[in-house]
Amino acid sequence: MLYPLLRKALFQLSPEKAHQVSMSSLHFLAQLPGGKSFLKQQFQYQGKDLSKKVLGLHFPNPVGLGAGFDKNAEHLDVLSLLGFGFIEIGTVTPKAQAGNPSPRLFRLPSDQALINRMGFNNEGVEAITTRLKKYRSQNQSDLIIGGNIGKNKVTENEDAWKDYCINFKGLEEVVDYFVVNVSSPNTPGLRALQEKEALRKIFSELQLLNKNKKPILLKIAPDLETSALDDIIQLTKEINIDGLVSSNTTLDRTLLNADNQKLAETYGAGGLSGKPLLTKSNDVLSYLHKGLESNTPIIASGGIFTGEDAKEKLDAGANLIQVWTGFVYEGPRMVKNICEYLSSSHH
């Protein structure tokens, strides 16, 4: 009930500043006496009926936080208090990189959307692994942690597989599953790695390293042509891809209202997320689910705000869902709201 007010205040700040302020406030609240139990009681869904086993892992509920929200794994303790069943850290690259110059994140409130061209700003695999080791040693929670991995901007596409392998070796001990991100629009040329032979190389090299059989998923763009989706479906039948994350942000600005299309032009390049992405990402999800014949788990991402949105994804074949932009607009009770809806609709 309070969040619309809080959101109004936060939206006075730049989006990146608002993100920092929200996270610091959450850390502050959590360390007050009784703070953790207050947050848990307010925001965590306590029922056990939504737990499920996917990818061989036990998820307390199917609602996760998408990659890019906690890129450096700095906020897992407080984000888990908000009830997420799983959190995907990253995108992590081998070397630390600053990302694109600011401003690089924009709000489009009348469409409940965001545009970003962050460009994989992150502290690099070593620093992030060290932080995760510390987190693991201090916390016995049932939170599932995914490691979303990418390549450095300076790495040529033909050498990209080496970057994915470096990330894999670094993070293997500290994450529960991996996501190969070849679908961000903000690293020049990255999306070309969604091509069949490039994927075959990356996945076969990763699986050679994967002695402990950690699930390795592929995250795709919603802008792929049907023929490219067919290639990916075919590839999952030929080689070992444990699941898909569908989808990343879109380049399609026609999904915005006319005013925002003009505004978006002034913002420049970037991926669009939030409400306008829902239908488009659902279409891709349905197509993949039908093609895969239920053999490959799918984590659905794109435009989820409400329990109804989440159920639509699950009904279209998703095994798990992830939120990002919706969390900015809906606030900290979002996960609980979705879980309560799913529970009452007997998903």
Ligand X SMILES: Cc1cc2nc3c(=O)[nH]c(=O)nc-3n(C[C@H](O)[C@H](O)[C@H](O)COP(=O)(O)O)c2cc1C
Min separation Cβ 267 and ligand X, Å = 13
Cα 206 off chain centre by:
20
325 binds ligand X, rule: CB under 6 A: yes
Query: Does the annotation mark 102 as catalytic?
Result: no
Shorter beta-carbon distance to ligand X: residue 40 or 306: 306
Shorter beta-carbon distance to ligand X: residue 85 or 303: 303
- Can you tell me the distance from the alpha carbon of 272 to that of 260, in angstroms, rounded to the nearest whole number? 11
Shorter beta-carbon distance to ligand X: residue 67 or 244: 67
Tokens of 344: 């009452």
* Interacting span for ligand X (CB under 6 A) from 55-63, 154-162, 254-262, 273-281: 273-281
Does the bond joining 60 to the residue before it have cis omega, within 30 degrees of 0?
no
Considering only 80, 129, 167, 181, the residue that binds ligand X (CB under 6 A) is 181
116 binds ligand X, rule: CB under 6 A: yes
**H or E element at residue 58:** strand 57-59
Q: Which long-range contacts (CB under 8 A, 24 or more apart) does 269-272 make?
A: 269/117, 269/185, 269/186, 270/104, 270/106, 270/115, 270/116, 270/117, 270/185, 270/186, 271/115, 271/116, 271/117, 271/184, 271/185, 271/186, 272/113, 272/114, 272/115
Give me the helices (H) in 139-257, please.
160-171, 196-209, 226-238
Give me the helices (H) in the chain, please.
3-10, 15-31, 35-43, 76-81, 125-138, 160-171, 196-209, 226-238, 258-267, 278-292, 307-315, 325-330, 334-344
Considering only 151, 219, 289, 313, the residue that binds ligand X (CB under 6 A) is 219
* Interacting span for ligand X (CB under 6 A) from 6-14, 31-39, 45-53, 324-332: 324-332
Q: Which of 236, 252, 241 is nearest to 303 (CA)?
A: 252
301 binds ligand X, rule: CB under 6 A: yes
Min separation Cβ 47 and ligand X, Å = 23
Axis-axis angle for helices 278-292, 307-315 (nearest 10): 30
Q: Taking CB under 6 A as the rule, which mask of x and - marks residues 58-77 in contact with ligand X? A: --------xxx--x------
Tokens of 56: 């061989």
Q: Between β-strands 57-59 and 243-246, what pairing exists: parallel, antiparallel or unpaired?
A: unpaired
Min separation Cβ 323 and ligand X, Å = 5
Considering only 50, 63, 118, 145, the residue that binds ligand X (CB under 6 A) is 118
Considering only 100, 167, 236, 249, the residue that binds ligand X (CB under 6 A) is 249
Considering only 64, 83, 124, 326, the residue that binds ligand X (CB under 6 A) is 326
Kindly write down the DSSP assignment for every residue of 111-139, as one continuous string. GTEEEE-----B--HHHHHHHHHHHHHH-
Residues contacting ligand X: total by CB under 6 A: 28
Considering only 97, 100, 167, 184, the residue that binds ligand X (CB under 6 A) is 184
* Interacting span for ligand X (CB under 6 A) from 196-204, 299-307, 310-318, 333-341: 299-307
Q: Which residue is catalytic, options 22, 80, 184, 301?
A: 184
Shorter beta-carbon distance to ligand X: residue 47 or 189: 189
* Interacting span for ligand X (CB under 6 A) from 29-37, 164-172, 225-233, 297-305: 297-305
Phi, psi of 156, deg, nearest 5: -65, 150
233 binds ligand X, rule: CB under 6 A: no
DSSP 254: G
324 binds ligand X, rule: CB under 6 A: yes
Min separation Cβ 92 and ligand X, Å = 9
- Report the chain's C-alpha Rg in angstroms: 19
114 binds ligand X, rule: CB under 6 A: yes
Where on the chain is the footprint of ligand X (CB under 6 A)?
A: 66-68, 71, 90-91, 105, 114, 116, 118, 120, 148, 181, 184, 219, 248-249, 273-274, 277, 301-304, 323-326
Which residue numbers are catalytic? 184
